[in-house]
Chain A
């Protein structure tokens, strides 16, 4: 067992997992209020990757500005999706299944909209660092990994702070527990839903830019959110800390499996984990309820 190698792999796993977490919190926030899995989330992340790409390639914005642009853009896109695809269902008291179908339709629409306009080609972010890694003793850490880790950690910290310590965060938690009771306290459910989609979208924007930077940008990049969804279910769908913990663990497990076993397993392992969790502990690590996850 080579300790240096292990630490490098571990950091790599945490970095990837933390970006999964950025996506997973969007699933969890929406699920906690509206009890359905918003599969249009992948489309929002894909658009975030493109916003980041064009901010850098076309307008020459620095990385932090590209991330801010993607946060803002994706927040607005997520809110627009809610208005167009879910709000009409909400007014009619539609069952969760309708939301899921609407979400999948939206996801396909966004993907093909990009194929039709920008085109199906891969796009590569301009290189950010000339040297790819820094060395601490014998351990070489990828600069990109480090950047992903730091930006994800800061974003997630801000999100958790907002949910745990502010008044609107308290209203979101109360609404997640019981929408009717919170409306009897004077909370407007529309406001809570608006903010939840905005926050989830902003986090998706950060994730899109980070993934675009690490890999390449293409219309189907949103498929990566399947992993984040597994992370959210693993941690307990609807729980914010659960989504973060589940995603980071998933990142570590994935990278470890591919480093020590076979890189072919990296994608398989997430779904084996999903099936395993659903059989053994359907409520996930931090989940409270065992009702079916739609």
Chain B
């Protein structure tokens, strides 16, 4: 098991944001976490990345306990593409991508991955010497994903990649997620857009008020009447 989360609890001040969450991610899967705003999806991703401290539970990476500090977790190959993108607006597009490869020493590998990223996102190549702060919202999301890929991750944690993007761009982003998956990356995808997320994922978890209330193959959840009503906007009468 690549990632095994057992009985994870997170407290934010007085708020119990995650309540005993169990989640597993197998190598070569796309697993998605769906749920409404405030369900604890981003908290979960940030707890895996070490940005948020867990108050209880364990996270295992290939059977061994995962490091606690964000930079050491990146070293283990678990890399987050943060919500709101958090790109470095004061650096050029090329420097943002170089930051993604910060811990790598294999110059040939870095050059190859840079080429892949530019093939995947030709817009980034066009704008590589521009400051990242001047990019549009969609381009910033592409840059954040490209930057994540530059670390050559084993497991990519995508936090709300479609948030705030126009519908056409949302489609593009999900196509890119599939392409990245075909490149051999394992993906944990947190999404509010349940419809799209369930379409691309192998398995899914539904998070409600900090608890996993449902889990299973994505296709099965997509056909579930309660899911359809709560997250896919379909009326079941």
Contact = CB atoms under 8 A, between A and B. Distances in A.
Interface in A184-207: 184-189
Interface of A: 167, 170-171, 173-174, 176-178, 180-189, 288
Given A185-B147, A185-B151, A180 B86 contact: yes
A170 B91 contact: yes
Given A184-B80, A186-B74, A186-B75, A174 B86 contact: no
Interface stretch (B92-100, B187-195, B201-209): B92-100
B119 interface: no
B90 interface: yes
B172 interface: no
A183 B89 CA distance: 16
Interface in B62-88: 69-71, 74-75, 79-80, 82, 86-88
B103 interface: yes
B82 A184 contact: yes
Given A167-B98, A183-B51, A187-B102, 12 more contacts: A167-B102, A177-B88, A178-B86, A180-B70, A180-B82, A181-B87, A184-B80, A184-B86, A186-B71, A186-B102, A186-B151, A188-B69
| A177, A178, A184, A288: residue with the most chain B Cβ atoms closer than 10 Å | A184
Nearest to B50: A183
Interface string B144-160: 00010001000000000
B231 to A, nearest CB: 28
B99 A182 contact: yes
Contact of A174 (B49, B70, B91): B91
Contacts of B103: 185-186
Interface of B: 49, 51, 69-71, 74-75, 79-80, 82, 86-91, 95, 98-100, 102-103, 147, 151
B91 A185 contact: no
A159 to B, nearest CB: 17
A178 B133 CA distance: 13
B88 A181 contact: yes
Contact of B74 (A167, A176, A184): A184
A187 to B, nearest CB: 6
Contacts of A189: 71
Contacts of B51: 180, 183-184
Given A170-B95, A180-B51, A185 B90 contact: no
| B51, B86, B147: residue with the most chain A Cβ atoms closer than 10 Å | B86
A222 to B, nearest CB: 31
A177 B91 contact: yes
Nearest to B74: A186
A142 to B, nearest CB: 39
Nearest to B87: A181
Contacts of B80: 184
A185 B74 contact: yes
A190 to B, nearest CB: 9
A185 B99 CA distance: 6
A241 B172 CA distance: 40
Given A186-B74, A186-B151, A173 B91 contact: yes
A171 B95 CA distance: 10
25 contacts: A170-B91, A170-B98, A170-B99, A171-B102, A173-B90, A174-B99, A176-B90, A177-B90, A177-B91, A181-B82, A181-B86, A181-B87, A181-B88, A182-B88, A184-B86, A185-B74, A185-B103, A185-B151, A186-B70, A186-B71, A186-B74, A187-B99, A187-B102, A188-B69, A188-B71
Contacts of B95: 170, 174
Contacts of B147: 185
A176 B88 CA distance: 9
Given A171-B99, A171-B102, A184 B88 contact: no
Nearest to A184: B80
Nearest to B96: A174
Contact of A183 (B70, B88, B151): B70
A174 B70 CA distance: 15
Contacts of A186: 70-71, 74-75, 102-103, 151
A181 B99 CA distance: 10
A189 B51 CA distance: 12
Contact of B71 (A173, A174, A183, A288): A183
